[in-house]
Amino acid sequence: MDRRKNDHLRLVVDRSGASSRIEGLYLVTDEGPNIVERVRRAIPGGVAALQFRHKGSDRAEKSLLGGELRRLAADNDIPFIVNDDLPLALELDADGLHLGQSDGDPAEARQLLGPYRLLGISAHNLDEALAAQQAGADYIGFGAMFPTRSKEIEHLPGPTGLAEVRPHIQIPIVAIGGITRNNAHKVIDSGADSLAVISAVLESRDPFVAASELSLLFNRKDPFPRGSVMTVAGSDSGGGAGIQADLKTITLLGSYGSSVITALTAQNTRGVSAIQGVEPEFVTEQLAVVLSDIPVDVIKTGMLFSSRIIDAVATALESNRRPLLVLDPVMLAKGGTSLIDREAVNCLKHSLLPLAYLITPNIPEAERLSGITIVDEDGMQQAARAIHRLGSRNVLIKGGHLGDGNSVDILFDGSAFIRYPAQRVLTKNTHGTGCTMASAIASFLAQGEPLQVAVGRAKEFITNAIRLSQPLGKGHGPVNHFLAAKEIWGESAKSRGPEYNP
Q: Which of 158, 379, 400, 434 is catalytic?
A: 434
Q: 396 with 456: CB under 8 angstroms?
A: no
Instruction: Please report the sign of the dihedral spanned by the C-alpha atoms of residue 148, residue 211, residue 201, residue 32.
Output: negative
Mapped onto helix, strand or coil, the DSSP state of residue 385 is: helix
Q: What strand order describes the sheet that includes 358-359?
A: 271-277, 256-268, 228-236, 298-301, 324-327, 358-359, 394-397, 406-412, 417-423
Residue 435 falls in the annotated catalytic set: yes
Best CA proximity match to 141, nearest among 20, 273, 28 = 28
- List phi, psi (to 5°) of 448: 100, 20
Q: Spot the catalytic one: 148, 433, 436, 463.
A: 433
497 is a catalytic site residue: no
Per annotation, catalytic residue among 430, 456, 459, 463: 430
Closest CA to 227 of 261, 251, 210, 201: 251
CB 132 within 8 A of CB 106: yes
**b vs e for 486-502, b when ≥16 Cβ sit within 10 Å of the residue's Cβ?**
ebbeeeeeeeeeeeeee
What span, in angstroms and rounded, lies between the C-alpha atoms of 208 and 211?
Answer: 5
SS3 of residue 291 by DSSP: helix
Catalytic residue among 186, 248, 349, 398: 398
Would you say 411 and 396 are in contact if contact means Cβ atoms under 8 Å apart?
yes
Q: Does the annotation mark 434 as catalytic?
A: yes
Selected catalytic residue, list 158, 435, 436, 477: 435
Candidates 432, 448, 456, 477; catalytic one = 432
Catalytic residue positions, numbered = 398, 430, 432-435
